Amino acid sequence: MNILLVGSGGREHALAWKIAQSPLLTRMVAAPGNPGIAGLCEIRPLNATDVEGLVALAKEIAADLVVIGPESALEAGLADQLARAGIPCFGPTAAAARLETSKAFSKDFCARHDLPTAAYGVFETPAAAAAFLDSQTPPFVIKADGLAAGKGVVIAATRAEADAAVSDMLGGLFGQAGARVVIEEFMPGEEVSLFALCDGETAIPFGFAQDHKRAYDGDQGPNTGGMGAYSPAPVLTDVLARRAFEDCVLPAVRGMAAEGTPYRGVIYAGLMLTPTGPRLVEFNARFGDPECQVLMLRLQSDVLPYLAAAAAGALASLPPPVWRDESALCVVIAADGYPQSPVAGAIIRGADGPDHDEAVVFHAGTARDPDGTLRSAGGRVLNVCALGAPLSEARGRAYGRIGGIDFPGGFHRSDIGWRALPAD
Ligand code: AMP
Ligand code: GLY
């Protein structure tokens, strides 16, 4: 198969790494890719939102399948344009991706289909938002409607903070993405990420993971895209995973089909395990990053048949995917200043080289100078991942590998996996 992989982060490096192992692969091209992905396949300098350019590239390489990593490409309508060109695509249309790209759409959809999630309201004016806040108790959950690069959610401990968040968002802090705000009931509990592949009609479970959203040890500091992940997550027992799949994922896939926007690709249910059972925090229309990295390490089955079947409406014909018994753990190394204002340009040594001891380093935000020097070029820079049994062994291997990386100005959490591991 000829594959075009779209995206440039650690998630896409992990997908490229797994796809590269497929006996079905003939040729893979990534756009725009990154220096890690460049070690696995050809890369082309096209942005993930350059829909026209990417469709032309897919035609040029006679792609049998386009695999879309990031939500920006989904929102830009890449899947729609590929469908028009008759090219199979792993990733939902822009209309189906609204489950992620519009929180107001997503919440209204959940209400229409009776999915378990937080009570909410959608507001366009500070006065309407204030009237709703009057009826709520702290903490207050305030969200910008649209995509805001992971920064559009504020959990406000006080009413003053809540009012400030509403006024920032409606005042244009996130541009159009904040033209409407969603205010939600706060759900207590532990969070997990559940993944399912969907082909428009059928959905199959595709693993789960737990990530660490806060920047610093002990779950302190600002929210980030994710500072590390591990899979499986013992807190999501088989019984809870099945219940979450049946209560949250299946009705969503059926609902999308019934509304004329069938969902194809991976659906990521962010769940809160509350005392009354799993409830949805949000849907995402793509793999989690860094959750994808640990899923790809654990996936024993060839990934390509699953991605292709999701695109082709053929998931029902495949056996359930097989996962390794070992756990996988990923530690994100971020640049100084992440998430607010990461510093780029530091020279990194020791990140390249063969995978060993089941540890593998995925590139997330790197660039290579013409002379081969590797530099940091993003907020999250490297993802150091390892398999092991038990999870503590995976953790030991990942942190051991980090010891061999010289990245001045890089930082990482030292407690990834703490919820699932006994205290040291
Ligand atoms: P989101 O971008 O919707 O995933 O929100 C970011 C983070 O805010 C989530 O991962 C949760 O930790 C937290 N969060 C969002 N909505 C709620 C809620 N209704 N109750 C409790 N925590 C929430
Ligand atoms: N790790 C969280 C996300 O990908 O949204």
User: CA 113 → CA 154, 253, 422, distances in Å?
Assistant: 26, 10, 39
Assigned token pair, 159: 């009413």
Quote the pLDDT of residue 175: 85
- Count of domains forming the chain: 4
Q: Is 174 inside any structural domain?
A: yes
Same domain, 63 and 175: no
Q: Nearest C-alpha to atom 3 of ligand 1 is from which residue?
A: 282
Quote the pLDDT of residue 148: 79
Averaged pLDDT for residues 118-145: 93
Give the DSSP letter of residue 323: B
Same domain, 67 and 17: yes
Q: Is the pTM of this model over 0.85?
A: yes
Averaged pLDDT for residues 292-300: 98
Nearest to 69 by CA among 48, 52, 40, 54: 48
Q: Is 143 inside any structural domain?
A: yes
Q: Mean pLDDT for the chain?
A: 95
Residue 423 has pLDDT above 80, yes or no: no
Residue 357 has pLDDT above 70, yes or no: no
Q: Which of 139-153, 222-236, 252-266, 367-381 has the lowest mean pLDDT?
A: 139-153
Q: What's the CATH code of the domain at 356?
A: 3.90.600.10
Q: Is 100 inside any structural domain?
A: no
CB 270 within 8 A of CB 282: yes
* Residue 55 lies in domain: 2-95
DSSP per-residue codes, 244-296: HIIIIIHHHHHHHHHTT---EEEEEEEEEEETTEEEEEEEESS--TTHHHHHH
Q: Is 113 inside any structural domain?
A: no
Q: Per-residue pLDDT tens for 41-68? A: 999 999 999 999 999 999 999 999 999 9
Quote the pLDDT of residue 355: 66
Q: Using a pLDDT cut of 70, give the percent of the chain over it.
A: 98
Residue 343 has pLDDT above 70, yes or no: yes
Q: Is 111 inside any structural domain?
A: no
Is omega for the bond preceding 422 within 30 degrees of 0, making it cis? no
Quote the pLDDT of residue 352: 85
Same domain, 291 and 341: no
CB 255 within 8 A of CB 280: no
Q: Per-residue pLDDT tens for 76-99? A: 999 999 999 999 999 999 999 999
Same domain, 355 and 287: no
Q: What is the Å distance from ligand 1's center to 331 Cα?
A: 21
Q: Is the CB of 191 under 6 A from ligand 1?
A: yes
Atom of ligand 1 nearest to the CA of 189: 21
Q: What's the CATH code of the domain at 66?
A: 3.40.50.20
Q: Which of 1-10, 139-148, 211-220, 311-320 has the lowest mean pLDDT?
A: 139-148
Q: Is the CB of 183 under 6 A from ligand 1?
A: no
Question: Which position has the token pair 């705000």?
Answer: 181
DSSP per-residue codes, 65-116: EEEE--HHHHHTTHHHHHHHTT--EES--TTTTHHHH-HHHHHHHHHHTT--
Given 317, 346, 367, which residue is the final one in a domain?
A: 317
Same domain, 33 and 128: no
Same domain, 306 and 337: no
Same domain, 180 and 297: no
Quote the pLDDT of residue 14: 98
Residue 103 binned pLDDT confidence (cut-offs 50, 70, 90)? confident
Q: Per-residue pLDDT tens for 22-36? A: 999 999 999 999 999
Q: What's the CATH code of the domain at 143?
A: 3.30.1490.20
Residue 10 has pLDDT above 60, yes or no: yes
Same domain, 201 and 299: yes
Same domain, 275 and 177: no
Given 293, 317, 341, which residue is the final one in a domain?
A: 317
Name residue 121's beta-bridge partners. Answer: 183
Ligand 1: which of 282, 284, 286 to mutate, most ligand atoms within 8 Å of CB? 282
Q: Is 114 inside any structural domain?
A: no
Same domain, 209 and 239: yes
Q: What residues does ligand 2 touch, defined as CB less than 6 Å away?
A: 211, 225-226, 284, 288-289, 291
User: CA 131 → CA 47, 108, 125, 141, 162, distances in Å?
Assistant: 42, 20, 10, 15, 12
Q: Nearest C-alpha to atom 8 of ligand 1 is from which residue?
A: 153
Same domain, 39 and 86: yes
Quote the pLDDT of residue 330: 98
Residue 424 has pLDDT above 60, yes or no: no
Q: What's the CATH code of the domain at 278?
A: 3.30.470.20
Same domain, 12 and 61: yes
Q: Is 104 inside any structural domain?
A: no
Name residue 244's beta-bridge partners. Answer: none
Assigned token pair, 395: 């953790």
Q: Is 102 inside any structural domain?
A: no
CB 37 within 8 A of CB 54: no
- Nearest ligand to the CA of 223 is 1
Nearest to 362 by CA among 3, 6, 21, 33: 33
Q: Nearest C-alpha to atom 3 of ligand 2 is from which residue?
A: 288
Q: What is the Å distance from ligand 1's center to 185 Cα?
A: 10
Task: Please name the helix (run of DSSP H) or strand (run of DSSP E) that holds residue 307, with its range, or none.
Answer: helix 304-312
